[in-house]
Amino acid sequence: MLNGERFIVLLDKYVANEIAPEERSELFAAISSGEYDELLARDIDRKLQATTIEGTNLPPHRSAEILHKILSSEKQNLLLLPKTSGKIRLFRWAAVAAVASAIIFSIYFIRTTPAKNVTSSPAVANNLLTKINTSEEPIRVQLEDGSFITLQPGSAIHYPVHFLSGKREVFLDGEAFFEVSKNPNRPFYVFNKNIVTHVLGTSFTIKTNKETKQLEVSVRSGRVEVYESTTPEKDAPVKRNNGVILLPNQRVIYDETARQFVPSLVDKPLPVIDESADKKIPAENSIFEETPLKTVLPFLEKSYGIEIVVENEDLYKCLFTGDIHQQDLYTRLDVVCQATGASYEIKGTKILIKGKGCN
């Protein structure tokens, strides 16, 4: 029985086409035993994730999926074979090993062929690169246009070396925070399965939950359009289905099963950013003394870019005294409402203030 190190050495020799006939037989015998399945899968996954792929037609996550299906399919077939069919079993596993090695070889060594006909997008520039975050900390990726992507652990981003002249397109698997450089003439698109996030210049987060099959897009600054896309015909424009437009501190959750968009506010709204001055707004002091809510609520609206609606116009007459400059939005609302006998509810992307009001 081979030890793990010897198995990997033989596998690497086979991939590099440097394996001797007797070593090939030794490797195939080990594979056919089924005792090295986990080691084989780990080694292939390591090679896929340890490499920045340039100029390949197949993103690494797709290669891994194909490999998994091949191995699973062959193992199911082997269960149906008679136990005496040793030569057939060996032949089948040899075929699996050959296909697996071909996948590794094509991804690990091919670096010069331009990417063509990538099916994940209607139009992608040549020389597609892939960054996979295999660490336990976020990593920061800079694109050629000056945009930045903060990639979370276990996530991958696929992007071209050079963007097309009229658009910028990237492809995300997992979770990332985008800081997109502003260029109205070259809109920025993020593709995630059948969901497209379209921006001109802004910052936002996209994350997916594989267990619940939900995708969430939340906006930090600027404006974002999120919509479903259908697979277009060749050279045809992308068709849009459903969709929402998001403003700062807004998010949308897309349910893949129901194909439904549900907009709401983010869990922790932050003061909006004045893009022209590159600073938080407003600069006014948020310490109030006998100030009517007619002034306090618009202040909060402007600070967070969130519409605040009152149920009763008499609420505007209530006076508020307090220091709320260090609290987050919801704590500020709690303080203001407690002091004026009111309450609030989050209604989609708006906040509703409820109460009898004051005379």
pLDDT for 28-38, tens place per residue? Answer: 677 766 677 77
Position 325 confidence tier, pLDDT thresholds 50, 70, 90: confident
User: What's the rounded mean pLDDT across residues 50-64?
Assistant: 44
Of 34-48, 80-94, 155-169, 306-320, which range is least confident? 80-94
Six-digit token string for 164: 């097309």
Q: Is the pLDDT of residue 167 over 80?
A: yes
User: What's the rounded mean pLDDT across residues 330-337?
Assistant: 95
Number of Cβ within 10 Å of residue 40's Cβ equals: 19
Residue 77, pLDDT score? 41
Mean pLDDT of the chain, nearest integer: 75
Position 236 confidence tier, pLDDT thresholds 50, 70, 90: very low
Q: Is the bond preceding residue 282 a cis peptide, omega within 30 degrees?
A: yes
Position 230 confidence tier, pLDDT thresholds 50, 70, 90: low
Position 285 confidence tier, pLDDT thresholds 50, 70, 90: low
- Cα gap 45→116, rounded to integer Å: 24
Position 39 confidence tier, pLDDT thresholds 50, 70, 90: confident
Residue 52, pLDDT score? 43
Position 311 confidence tier, pLDDT thresholds 50, 70, 90: very high
Six-digit token string for 252: 């949308």
Dump pLDDT digits (tens) for 126-159: 457 888 898 899 999 999 999 999 999 989 999 9
Alpha helices per DSSP H over the chain: 4-15, 21-33, 37-49, 60-79, 86-109, 293-304, 329-340
User: What's the rounded mean pLDDT across residues 227-234?
Assistant: 62
Q: Enter the DSSP assignment of 110.
A: -
Residue 8, pLDDT score? 81
- Cα gap 33→231, rounded to integer Å: 43
Q: Across the strands, what pairs with 214? A: 209, 255
User: What's the rounded mean pLDDT across residues 81-104?
Assistant: 43
Number of Cβ within 10 Å of residue 308's Cβ equals: 18
Q: Is the pLDDT of residue 263 over 60?
A: yes
Residue 32, pLDDT score? 63
297: left (phi over 0), alpha (psi -120 to 50) or beta: alpha
356 vs 54 pLDDT, higher one: 356
- Cα gap 146→162, rounded to integer Å: 12
Dump pLDDT digits (tens) for 188-223: 999 988 899 999 779 999 998 878 889 999 999 999
CA-closest candidate to residue 190, choices 168, 207, 175, 174: 168
User: What's the rounded mean pLDDT across residues 272-278?
Assistant: 59
Q: Is the pLDDT of residue 296 over 70?
A: yes
The pTM of this model reads 0.62
Dump pLDDT digits (tens) for 168-189: 999 998 999 999 999 988 999 9
CA distances from 259 to 122, 227, 236 (A): 21, 10, 23
CA-closest candidate to residue 327, choices 266, 250, 269: 269
Q: Enter the DSSP assignment of 119.
A: T
Residue 168, pLDDT score? 94
Of 258-267, 270-279, 341-350, which range is least confident? 270-279
- Cα gap 302→323, rounded to integer Å: 17
Identity at 176, one-letter amino acid code: A
